[in-house]
Amino acid sequence: MIGRDTRLSGPMLEGALASGLASTGAHAVLLGVVPTPAVAELVASSDAAAGAVISASHNPFPDNGIKLFGPDGFKLADAEEAAIEAAMAGEGGDRPTAGALGTIETWLGGRAQYVDAIAERAGVDLTGMRIVVDCANGATTVTAPEVLVRLGATLRSIGVEPDGVNINDGCGSTDLGLLSAAVLEAGADLGLAFDGDGDRVLAVDAAGDPVDGDQILALCAVAKRARGELPGDAVVTTTMTNLGFRRAMAAEGIEVRWTDVGDRYVMQEMRGNGFVLGGEQSGHLIDLSHGPSGDGLAAGLHLLRALRERGEDLRTAAAIVQRLPQRLVNVTAGRKQDLPDAAGVWEAVRRAEAELGEDGRVVVRSSGTEPLVRVMVEAPTVQSCDRWCREISQAVERELGGSLP
């Protein structure tokens, strides 16, 4: 099964991928424009051998890529991806001919099946709730508004006019400004913003202020624990998560498990230890009791259900997480691969950690998809946070041929 987002290059890559698969004897089923989690779910609920999504997720329009899922709907492990890359680099073998070739077919009914399933298990009546949704001119354009209206929300939709090049462009979860203004203009209770392929969600409250993935995850964790739906009373998140999240979870009696940055590492920790809920500050939330991948729309519905159950507005509820000052700087780095051996960078990190002690954190890591080194600092004060972030970022610039934004 093959799905894609709304990028101009999507149909071209879709045709190339489907043709290549058919030439090997495989049968390619084209789902059209659908969110990434829809492909994962449709694969898992069928006899499909694999799934592919043509998307660059939250990245800018010119980028594109392919995400692969196994027959269980889960993303492939690193070793499996490496084996595929090695096979692609080889000479291949004899290919089928004539009647042994595969087929290419279109199945637009998959989208409706996904919409029905996610609405059915939402467990919340949104009647009377005024919501603005920003679909980032991406894949959730064809799913999110329909589901929210079906559940009773009074809805205003923005970012729902994709033209092939405007995906993630000043809208969606990568830029909450448009959503914030729309919520204020509409007098809405809150707003939800998805990224281009629909596996992330962020929110804004009625005052137009942002609510990040840490806060959404915290509210969902507390709600699931209250329902008896949180195995091990534990939630999984990454090193980028604000320390305020850990303190909030401790106050609720919920254990926090930390992983490296990346949803695949969150997923590994969850599956390896029987946990069902995890996520990232970016808004990538995973609930394995509802599906095999991160799903922005499902996470948004979990948040709305939690608000209904608490009887609170989003601003009040999100205050469960008292965030420490946090600063993130993306340093363009021509030699990001040399970060592990950049002695000057790690010396600056050591000095920061020695001063901050238990009252702060430093995370320095290379981006997995862009030529960037990300520097994140948490500290008790904004001044301390900014000072150490600047010092470490400058060290990255000196050592790795970088430039500051």
Distances from the Cα of 57 to the Cα of 46, 66, 136, 196, 264, angstroms: 24, 10, 11, 5, 15
Question: For residue 189, how many C-alpha atoms fall within 13 Å in the half-sphere facing its CB?
Answer: 18
Q: What's 233's DSSP letter?
A: G
- Per the annotation, the verdict on 57 as an active-site residue is yes
d(CA 332, CA 328): 13
Which residue has 């939330």 as its token pair? 285
Q: In this structure, are residues 308 and 227 in contact, taking their beta carbons and an 8 Å threshold?
A: no
Tokens of 201: 């969600």
Pure H helices in 229-295:
243-251, 263-273
Cβ-in-10-Å burial (0-12, 13-18, 19+) of 182 comes to buried
d(CA 148, CA 141): 12
Catalytic residue (one of 9, 45, 55, 57):
57
β pairing state of 51-54 and 2-4 = parallel
d(CA 71, CA 88): 20
First to last CA, the chain: 40
User: Computed from CA positions of residues 234, 69, 49, 42, in that sequence, does the dihedral angle turn out positive or negative?
Assistant: positive
H/E run at residue 395: helix 382-400
d(CA 9, CA 333): 27
Distances from the Cα of 130 to the Cα of 145, 159, 209, 295, 304, angstroms: 13, 17, 16, 22, 11
d(CA 339, CA 132): 41
The catalytic residue positions are 57
